[in-house]
Amino acid sequence: MTGYKVVVVGATGAVGQEILKVLEERNFPVGELRLCATSRSAGREMVFKGNSYRVEETTPSSFDGMDIALFAGGAASKEFGPLAAEKGVVVIDNSSNFRLDPQVPLVVPEVNPEDVKWHKGIIANPNCSTIIMVVPLKAIYDAAGVKRVVVSTYQAVSGAGAEGITELTEHTRAFLDGGRVVPSKFQYQIAFNLIPHIDVFQEMDYTKEEWKMVKETRKILHDEQVGITATTVRVPVYRSHSESINVETERKLTADEAREVLAVFPGIIVEDDPARNKYPMPLFTSERDEIFVGRIREDNSLDKALNMWVVADQLRKGAATNAVQIAELVIKYGCLGKR
């Protein structure tokens, strides 16, 4: 086969647009492309590899004859994902609908690529913050084991979609002009502010976003014994999430050893030179697929622990790129049409 029949659901959203961009950049073998979205976006024209495509409303027939369905997130996958899988389409889903389902692989290609092989029609893409953490965590896990992780995230407004981007712009203008700031997408003014509240509050007063990082990481690592606690914070940055990660290891790993294992791990760029003020920042990691790691240092309060500062573009590696990489694995392992 010279190309595969691919349908992108939610094509007009922020992640959907990134998926199209990544498919083109990585020269994914698309033989036929179908773009779908809600009825509000149906009829819109989008361009892929120089050709114009009309967006269709997502219906059950959208998946007829297709090989791979890339769901950009939201409620659509819950309604149409199982139906598409029943038709023999491999569903790669960016929503949280199937991530913790024991029958659905949760995959980060640099960490657990083999899990793709046991899919039953649906493969879940992890939460963006989980992906950004678990790649460097896996490098440390393989080298020295991991007992406990304490992570604090600093998440860009684009993680909340196009509305988040718009709201940061509007709040900034209103604040600087002395006008009235009216929160809509976020709980409070986001310009010149931090909000330690992403998604809804759940048990023990942790948010759903925080529990995602705990539960998804354990599933991806196949290790329910790793202790993980998270605090997720929305910050007034347009793009790229940052994470402060403290890792307690099973055996002692020096900062130099950690730099070495991180530097050779797939998908990671070590940017760590304090003497020259070199460390990862959202401004310079946007539009990139790599996960940047810096500020690597031994914990001064524990003998077997490290601190890392990790930054990556959550729309790309945290969503679109990871999804396309999963699709590449499906082809590599010959997993098309499995149920």
Query: Which one from 36, 119, 128, 171 is the annotated catalytic residue?
Result: 128
| Rounded-to-integer distance, Cα 140 and Cα 134, Å | 10
User: Residue 226 and residue 184: Cα distance in Å, rounded?
Assistant: 37
241 noted as active-site residue? yes
DSSP element (H, E) containing 329: helix 321-332
Cα angle at 72 between 132 and 333, to 5 degrees? Answer: 70
Nearest to 187 by CA among 204, 174, 200: 200
Q: What span, in angstroms and rounded, lies between the C-alpha atoms of 209 and 94?
A: 14
Separation CA 20–CA 28 (nearest Å): 10
Amino acid at 143: A
Token reading at 92: 């790669």
DSSP letters spanning 26-72: TT--EEEEEEEE-TTTTT-EEEETTEEEEPEEP-GGGGTT-SEEEE-
Distance CA 335, CA 210 (A): 32
Known catalytic membership, residue 335 = no
Between CA 124 and CA 112 the distance in angstroms is: 12
* Burial (CB count within 10 angstroms: exposed 0-12, middle 13-18, buried 19+), residue 45: exposed
Tell me the CA end-to-end span of the chain in Å, nearest whole number. Answer: 21
**Options 36, 119, 171, 241, the catalytic residue:** 241
Q: How far apart are CA 157 and CA 238, in angstroms?
A: 5
Of residues 46, 18, 8, the one with CA closest to residue 313? 18
The residues annotated as belonging to the active site are 128, 241
